[in-house]
A and B are shown apart, each in its own frame.
Chain A
């Protein structure tokens, strides 16, 4: 063999080996993802961990809402009604937990039972559910209350599917599995080898940023491949960078204000309605550089959303306060019996838009003579549960399962575990009761509209803005398509561009 040919052969082999090695390195290098939230733990039954673990791509539901907003099967194949309170769920064959065991009805039943014991939010729609595994793929479910559409119930965020493990942890089915978790800081994810397409997914280092601005700087300096939830103020600057891709997308979240009906000043419905009329939603949307004035409890693209933006009428608001006995004093602020109308408005830093909206809310209420103190609290759920607020600015996905009932049942029904407004209305509860027996989607829209009309009249919550959110990507994730709000941030189809470096 001629020496020249030998040297060409060796060179070609070395080049091929180098390229192969480079390809492996790219695939093995973790994606770096940043957000202003992270799961508070790996216990799927605790608090809102069920939502967060699905958002992180660790867990799945039996049914889910796809990118087009349709309710579709995920781990389940179908659900059939067998009685007023009984259903049969058929699971998809061939699905596996990340530990290599098959997704069996008995294992899922144990997980769901654990959730219903430990998470009150799971009880909102159907009460406590009981489960019985008929065989590996058939699960019998009995609800406490009639549920017209159990597919939507199993798409609710508390009902993540998992298998309780003997060591107290849980095993999931999503495209990623947890490799390491640091509370309130980071979660390291490895591709779940039991989920299809494992070779197309890289490991992920998911970091929580306490401050969206810090996350922005991390993205700009090349420390992140995906920054989820960028502050709107920086978007125009970031779009000028050739190394970054910035995308916006409408979300199912609503920015709303819970008005604490248990507080003395807001116990009067006239005061609450006055506040609702004082909010200028166009101004609030402009302040956060995106979104639309809210038309009700749901984002405009849902069929059960209100048709017109909520009104602003300062004259009517002033008249309501006058009727309630709150007259303007010499300083221009309202008072009754020498006591000023002074409210405490709170919000939380994990949603930077709400922090931006807080001074705008204060200014808008000042226009009708209502004084406001404002506060940003780290643990909003704790403060809101304790009732230490008059107005709580809140971000909430109000139709995570594509159905209007869950939000109303879990956050505004009398005595509901997440009813921070402490709203209690038998008339409103009676409207919600109609959800339990009505399966016709058109009629459920009517019920949702009736419920919203009652909320507008009683004003335990004021719906403010239907926002858009922003995400920023490096070149590696430039094909990432955000959808589903923050319910599906990390997915199997994350859109990673495999490129040699």
Chain B
């Protein structure tokens, strides 16, 4: 039960953070600096008196956009290209695979850093960059899985029975490949959360007042000895989110 409750709670937390926080996450209150955990400020306040829970929630909604972007782009484009390559075969298969290998050659973080430097760091730019960089690995995995399934006797049987290509793909191919691809997507999204936090920590092209979890780690690093909880909360948010996403997707095979 816990396996489903935790990801569900996380999803609610991330979605809620996009619409509501207890306080304005940017509001400064110099009389409430470093308040510690109180009934008013459940996670305390930072060196400028900003409510930490509000900032974590606002940062969570930005991270959620990255999760959705990376997952959607990598999963849809990767699955489509990999499956298409396996079905089309011949020179078209080779062309698609070479293009996907090009995506793998370029390090993901370098792509994301370049995008952040040019367009500025936002959940959208980071999500796009990390998602596009994830298409290659997704496509190669989808291709490999599809080739294996296409070689199975039951696929030959469906073809012999005259099942259309679209029917074969939707009823026989994808149901056998999607569970593993989804589990892989969960894994990649977990890595993307870490990558986005790293980009925000570096701060290249970022708006430092925007409460990203990575930028909070950077901003609060000066308090690591005096007020360690300032770093613990965003650190825990990053770790918990990456963990929950992995847990949520790891059993796709069994569930589907």
Binding site for B on A (CB under 8 A): 212-213, 216, 231, 233-234, 236-237, 283, 286-287, 355-356, 358-360, 362-364, 366, 372-376
Residue in A212, A216, A359 whose beta carbon sits within 8 Å of that of B48 in the complex: A359
Tell me, rounded to whole Å, the shortest Cβ–Cβ distance linking A376 to chain B: 5
- Kindly state whether residue B26 has any CB partner on chain A within 8 Å: yes
Give Cα distance in the complex from A303 to B26, angstroms.
38
* Binary contact track B220-247/A, C-beta < 8 Å → 1, others 0: 0111011000000000000000000000
B203 interface contact, C-beta 8 A: yes
Q: Are B28 and A376 in contact (CB under 8 A)?
A: no
CA distance A216 to B28 in the complex (A): 26
Closest to A234 in B: B222
Of the candidates A234, A283, A287, A374, the one whose C-beta lies within 8 Å of that of B209 is: A374
Q: How far apart sit A366 and B24, CA to CA, in the bound complex (Å)?
A: 11
**How far does the alpha carbon of A226 sit from the alpha carbon of B28 in the complex, in Å?**
33
- Whether the Cβ atoms of B30 and A283 lie closer than 8 Å is yes
Q: A359-B48, A360-B48 are in contact. Are A283 and B208 (CB under 8 A)?
A: no
Closest to B50 in A: A359
Q: Is the interface of A mostly helix, strand, loop or mixed?
A: helix
Residues of chain B touching chain A, judged by Cβ–Cβ distance below 8 Å, are 24, 26-28, 30, 47-48, 50, 203, 207-209, 221-223, 225-226
Taking the closest CB of chain B, its distance from the CB of A294, in whole angstroms, is: 17
Q: Tell me if B226 and A237 are in contact (CB < 8 A).
A: yes
Question: Would B208 and A376 count as touching, CB distance under 8 A?
Answer: yes
Partner of B26, one of A234, A237, A287, A362: A362
Distance in Å: Cβ of A135 to nearest Cβ of chain B: 56
B32 to chain A, nearest CB (A): 12
Could you say which residues of chain B place their CB within 8 Å of the CB of A366?
Answer: 24, 26-27
Please classify the interface of chain B as helix (H, G, I), strand (E, B), loop, or mixed, using the class held by over half of its residues: loop
Q: What are 7 A-B contacts with C-beta separation under 8 Å?
A: A236-B226, A358-B208, A359-B50, A362-B26, A363-B48, A373-B207, A374-B208
B48 in contact with A355 (CB, 8 Å): no
Q: Which 10 A-B pairs have the closest CB atoms?
A: A363-B28, A359-B209, A374-B209, A286-B30, A233-B222, A213-B222, A362-B209, A360-B28, A376-B208, A283-B30
Given contacts A233-B223, A366-B27, 14 further A-B contacts (CB under 8 A): A213-B221, A237-B225, A356-B47, A356-B48, A358-B208, A358-B209, A359-B209, A360-B48, A363-B26, A373-B207, A374-B207, A374-B208, A376-B203, A376-B208
Residues in A neighbouring B203, C-beta threshold 8 A: 376
Q: Decide if B222 touches A216 in the complex (CB within 8 Å).
A: yes
B100 CB to nearest A CB, Å: 35
What total of A-B pairs shows CB separation below 8 Å?
Answer: 53
Q: Contact: A359 with B26, CB < 8 Å?
A: yes
Contact check, A283 vs B28: say whether CB atoms are below 8 A apart.
Answer: yes
A374–B30 alpha-carbon span in the complex (Å): 20
Q: Across the interface, which residues of A come within 8 angstroms of B28, CB to CB?
A: 283, 287, 359-360, 363-364
Which chain A residues border B226 with CB–CB below 8 Å? 233-234, 236-237
For A212, the chain B residues whose CB sits under 8 A away are 222
Q: How far is the CA of A212 from the CA of B48 in the complex (A)?
A: 19
The residue among B47, B50, B207, B225 with the most chain A CB atoms within 10 A of its own CB is B207
CB distance from B183 to the nearest CB of A (A): 39
Given contacts A359-B26, A359-B48, contact A375 B207 (CB under 8 A): yes
Report the Cα distance A286→B31, complex, angstroms. Answer: 10
Q: Which chain B residue shows the least CB distance to A289?
A: B47
Most buried by A among B27, B50, B209, B226: B209
Q: How far is the CB of B117 from chain A (nearest CB, A)?
A: 11
Nearest to B29 among chain A residues (CB) is A363
Chain B residue at smallest Cβ distance from A220: B225
Assuming the A-B contacts A237-B225, A287-B48, A374-B208, are A363 and B30 also in contact, with contact meaning beta carbons closer than 8 angstroms in the complex? no
Interchain CA distance A360-B30 in the complex, whole Å? 10
- B207 adjacent to A233 (CB under 8 Å): no
Whole-angstrom distance between the Cβ of B227 and the nearest chain A Cβ: 9
**If A213-B221, A231-B222, A237-B226 touch, does A363 touch B207 (CB 8 Å cutoff)?**
no
Report the bound CA distance from A157 to B28 in whole Å: 37
| Given known contacts A362-B209, A375-B207, A233 and B47 CB-to-CB distance under 8 angstroms | yes
Cα-based distance from A386 to B50 in the complex (angstroms): 33
Task: Point out the residues of chain A lying under 8 angstroms from B208, CB to CB.
Answer: 355, 358-359, 374-376
Nearest CB in chain B: distance from A375 CB, A:
6
The answer on a CB contact under 8 Å between A287 and B222 is no
CA distance A358 to B222 in the complex (A): 16
A316 vs B154: C-alpha distance when bound (angstroms): 79
Bound-state CA distance A373–B122 (Å) is 12
* Chain A residues with CB below 8 A from B207, complex form: 373-375
| Residues on the A chain within 8 Å of B30, using CB | 283, 286-287
Please measure, in the bound complex, the distance between the C-alpha atom of A411 and the C-alpha atom of B50, giving whole angstroms.
35
CA distance A362 to B222 in the complex (A): 21
> From residue A357, how far is it (CB to closest CB) to chain B in Å?
10
| Alpha-carbon separation in the docked complex, A363 to B48 (Å) | 10
The distance from the CB of B110 to the nearest CB of chain A, in whole angstroms, is: 19
A356–B208 CA distance with the chains assembled, in angstroms: 10
CA A376 to CA B204, docked complex, whole Å? 9
